[in-house]
Amino acid sequence: MEWRSKLQGNTMPAILDCVEAYCTTGEVCDVFRKVFGEYQETGGV
């Protein structure tokens, strides 16, 4: 799933493969965090 995310391709088939292999939601999200990072709110007030 990581390589497909880095290629900016469709990640849904990779996610479905992970789900069928009994990966947890946390494991899938960890890969997305590793590839794309986490949203950081900017101070606006």
| Contact between 35 and 6 (Cβ < 8 Å) | yes
Residue 43 lies in a domain: no
Answering whether pTM is above 0.75, one says no
Residue 23 pLDDT: 93
DSSP per position, 1-45: -HHHHHTT---HHHHHHHHHTT--HHHHHHHHHHHH----PPP--
Residue 22 lies in a domain: yes
Residue 26 pLDDT: 94
1-45: per-residue pLDDT in tens? 666 666 667 888 888 999 999 999 999 999 889 888 999 888 876
Residue 42 lies in a domain: no
Residue 45 lies in a domain: no
Q: Which domain holds residue 30?
A: 2-36
Q: Domains in the chain: how many in total?
A: 1
